[in-house]
Structure 1
């Protein structure tokens, strides 16, 4: 575990803030929206890029790779986006980790299975009984629909709707049903315990399944608080505990073998006030606890939430509809939210009625679809986010997928603009090359895939992956959020990516 606590705190706080940036757009979604459209049949005619001739450029690609001074391996493929002709290729068949570029595949997999206008629905039902004089003499059920972007503000709106209908007391049980998706406690078990980008997931997810941990320091003593804050309310969480203990390392420990999730934090790490988002491992209990606190604050009494797998259907008395899938996917690709990728991937895999209990079988279904529908053979993902250390893809397979997906006209509209930068890392305004791409970064892996459009030139499809797997697997490194040397290595990889894009646009010119 790293002893640089300020780096650990700052990195995850920024991750939490990135998620909150997307919140207002999600929170203002209309309460009622059109029903999802029928699933489109998106089957492109694959183009086998391996059968096309390679146009050898003048000048040495090897010089670019040597100048980058990157340890490990690098695979690159650049294609003419209109003809599929190979502009340049280096070790295109080498299998490397995709990191978050896997989310580009996941986005299209979700679109073809669910439809562009699909919305996840979270409902509150009366499991049995009825409301009489403000009292529900029966069960209240919070039923998730797998929504990956559900926020505390959305639960607050549900609480307001229940109060508006006169609910003031629940005499039966308060049940939480998250069976719409399988409950999975970790995306990747090899990640550090405190990594907020590696939460659990289930059929009900709240705040990207992260809890806000804040601390204040006065007179040398730290007071801690766990809450599920939104931009308007800060409900305290009672099912997740935090205790500051006298030690230096490890910075965090976590246990959820008992009735509650229990965190401890090293007191030496709480030198001054701060905050960060920590992963939640029991998302159904977390969401139920927050809705209960919100209802109590509005004058409604109800028992503690119980997680159930057998809630009976009943009358829907309030519901929240997510933004359409296209909005969710744009947010996923922009902020690279792992939970969103896993939820939409699982929702796509289970949309035909399949029963799944883990990410790997769902990822295999996506791998098979990528080969069948887009000709991307050899994709070997273990999840939908790219976080898992064992996922692999070649740059040739990724470029093939991106080429095929471009012809459908959907993926380019979902990708964010990738800024071109100068030698000091500053964005270059009005750069002659417009790039729409998905980045991917994990320790000692840097990937970029997308589309480059030179001003007045021919469009390019590209895939670049650099990885130093030996450094990634070094003893002790997997327990660190940012091992020594990661930042400098990643910086060099990104410079190489831009150099290659500029090189290819010149070759195309």
Structure 2
């Protein structure tokens, strides 16, 4: 590309033209280096054996500031969540709330509900134990003290959802993580068990274990954590599942006099976790249940009336949490919500692809999940920038959309604090990370130039195979920060 040459994103070379260059020359690497204007530091990493797609432009004019194989299709990892957030905002708007209800056809006679009580999950990605407490208090406020029937968790909208990634499939039997939670329209606390670990009475004593939302854990716990007088705190945890029952196995040490530690592990069955939460809260509220607790995929019967309901947090607040903490559960549940009743992961993927296909000049896309946990998802840096450009021009939605991203200087994820102070204060970004089957490091977001103009950029690095050469955030984000910082300073 001649020095000083710029072009508008809408005039990016079409895929057929780029393919012809590679076929004619037989030198894809040469074509990549020739197309690396504006991304010199990023191009150096590309020459170390990584697949790279990078693109940046000014949003007021469409002027390209840099590109490196901008149309190459790569795994975006959690940058996928930008598509989920944008699609949700366009579908529902920032103030949309998902509603979760307790419904029944039974009559209430002398404080007794005569019939089944049904938890009708509304697909809320952010329901917490506090929300369930409000649901139960709604029953208590009606004077209900006993339920002569069952308590059913209805996940008729979607769930249990089939697993499509190795992480989630393995997590059906055991997990040492929080990010691989199973998916359901009737879930609580992001489908994670939580226990609080505190020091015991003295050195050598077992740690004390409580639930995060009450004095008792909601699932059985094997406590092998010991209180120590010195040496610091180190706790490991695994959730195992056998016979339909989850169990948390804790081991390690906690230092005497230290603060409690909260431990989160994904549950194998979100609906069963919701029922355990309801059962505990009902016991605390003095509401007895005679018929037991069970999950169902059947919708509530016709004529069922609402006995208690909770509206979740507004979508704009949920998106901030989802993007800031890269919450996989929230992203995938939102994508399933986009697909509608009876949603599957394939339906959620189709909904996201349809949204991306509606964005002008986006180009090919294949998003297999809303979270980016699916390693075979594909988009390009030019496509991500097209998305960012599209949302920038949505006047009523852009403030909410950009607010969910992180400024490296003060974002909750400290690993993004790379590059110059100017870079850290002038960008809002979303990152994505995968380590298997090949390493992925991706980033996309906005920047403000020295003259106050808005720009957008995306850079995606994919390893070509498992193992070396290693791909880490220190190298990748440092290179990206160097290139974007130059763009910021020069404009």
TM-score, scaled to structure 2? 0.78
Q: 1:252 to 1:143 in 2, by over 3 A?
A: same
Equivalent residue runs for 1:337-416 within 5 Å: 337-350=327-340, 355-356=342-343, 358-409=344-395, 410-415=397-402, 416=405
Q: 1:130 to 1:428 in 2, by over 3 A?
A: farther
CA deviation vs aligned residue, 1:212-232 (integer Å, no higher than 9, x gap): 1455677757568573x23xx
CA deviation vs aligned residue, 1:149-184 (integer Å, no higher than 9, x gap): 111111111212211111111111111112222322
Q: 1:205 to 1:60 in 2, by over 3 A?
A: closer
- 2:441 aligned with 1:446, yes or no? yes
Q: Of residues 142, 145, 155 in structure 1, which corresponds to 2:122?
A: 145
**Displacement, 1:294?**
0.8
CA deviation vs aligned residue, 1:67-113 (integer Å, no higher than 9, x gap): 79965222210112122222211121222211111111111111222
Quote the Cα distance in structure 2 between the aligned partners of 1:424 and 1:316.
Answer: 46
Q: Is the 8 A contact 2:382 2:458 kept in 1?
A: yes
How many residue pairs get aligned? The number is: 433
- C-alpha RMSD over aligned residues: 3.5
**Could you say which residue in structure 2 is the equivalent of 1:481?**
none
**Displacement, 1:504?**
1.8
- 2:206 aligned with 1:241, yes or no? no
Q: Of residues 480, 486, 489 in structure 2, which corresponds to 1:503?
A: 486
CA deviation vs aligned residue, 1:456-475 (integer Å, no higher than 9, x gap): 24321111112224236x8x
**Could you say which residue in structure 1 is the equivalent of 2:24?**
none
Q: 1:506 to 1:67 in 2, by over 3 A?
A: farther
CA deviation vs aligned residue, 1:123-147 (integer Å, no higher than 9, x gap): 0112x32111111121111111011
**Could you say which residue in structure 2 is the equivalent of 1:456?**
451
Structure 1 spans left out of the alignment, 5+ residues:
1-45, 475-483
Q: Is the 8 A contact 1:419 1:427 kept in 2?
A: no
Quote the Cα distance in structure 2 between the aligned partners of 1:420 and 1:497.
Answer: 15
Quote the Cα distance in structure 2 between the aligned partners of 1:299 and 1:468.
Answer: 56
Quote the Cα distance in structure 2 between the aligned partners of 1:362 and 1:431.
Answer: 35
Quote the Cα distance in structure 2 between the aligned partners of 1:198 and 1:392.
Answer: 20
Quote the Cα distance in structure 1 between the aligned partners of 2:76 and 2:418.
Answer: 26
Q: Is the 8 A contact 2:423 2:481 kept in 1?
A: no
**Could you say which residue in structure 1 is the equivalent of 2:408?**
419
Q: Is the 8 A contact 1:92 1:394 kept in 2?
A: yes
Quote the Cα distance in structure 2 between the aligned partners of 1:174 and 1:317.
Answer: 13
Quote the Cα distance in structure 1 between the aligned partners of 2:444 and 2:266.
Answer: 29
More off after superposition, 360-369 vs 414-423:
414-423
Quote the Cα distance in structure 2 between the aligned partners of 1:105 and 1:213.
Answer: 33
CA deviation vs aligned residue, 1:23-50 (integer Å, no higher than 9, x gap): xxxxxxxxxxxxxxxxxxxxxxx97341
Quote the Cα distance in structure 2 between the aligned partners of 1:419 and 1:308.
Answer: 44
Structure 2 spans left out of the alignment, 5+ residues:
1-7, 15-33, 226-235, 256-260
Q: 1:392 to 1:277 in 2, by over 3 A?
A: same
More off after superposition, 159-168 vs 411-420:
411-420
Quote the Cα distance in structure 2 between the aligned partners of 1:177 and 1:190.
Answer: 25
**Displacement, 1:66?**
2.5
**Could you say which residue in structure 2 is the equivalent of 1:319?**
309
**Could you say which residue in structure 2 is the equivalent of 1:208?**
190
Q: Secondary structure at the match of 1:466?
A: strand
Quote the Cα distance in structure 2 between the aligned partners of 1:47 and 1:62.
Answer: 19
CA deviation vs aligned residue, 1:415-436 (integer Å, no higher than 9, x gap): 2342259999579767696222
Q: Secondary structure at the match of 1:271?
A: strand
Q: 1:437 to 1:382 in 2, by over 3 A?
A: same
**Displacement, 1:283?**
0.9
Quote the Cα distance in structure 2 between the aligned partners of 1:62 and 1:83.
Answer: 23
Q: Is the 8 A contact 2:447 2:454 kept in 1?
A: yes
Q: Is the 8 A contact 2:56 2:64 kept in 1?
A: yes
- 2:136 aligned with 1:159, yes or no? yes
Q: Is the 8 A contact 1:375 1:401 kept in 2?
A: no
Q: 1:210 to 1:433 in 2, by over 3 A?
A: closer
Q: 1:141 to 1:82 in 2, by over 3 A?
A: same
Quote the Cα distance in structure 2 between the aligned partners of 1:145 and 1:60.
Answer: 46
Q: Which has the larger radius of gyration?
A: 2
Q: Secondary structure at the match of 2:288?
A: coil
Quote the Cα distance in structure 2 between the aligned partners of 1:180 and 1:117.
Answer: 22
Q: 1:429 to 1:377 in 2, by over 3 A?
A: closer
CA deviation vs aligned residue, 1:252-291 (integer Å, no higher than 9, x gap): 46235x23224556xxx42347552000121111111111
**Could you say which residue in structure 2 is the equivalent of 1:79?**
57
**Displacement, 1:331?**
1.9
- 2:240 aligned with 1:254, yes or no? yes
TM-score, scaled to structure 1? 0.76
Q: 1:185 to 1:213 in 2, by over 3 A?
A: farther
**Displacement, 1:342?**
0.9
CA deviation vs aligned residue, 1:231-265 (integer Å, no higher than 9, x gap): xx34531xx4344689xxx9746235x23224556
- 2:163 aligned with 1:174, yes or no? no
More off after superposition, 187-196 vs 335-344:
187-196
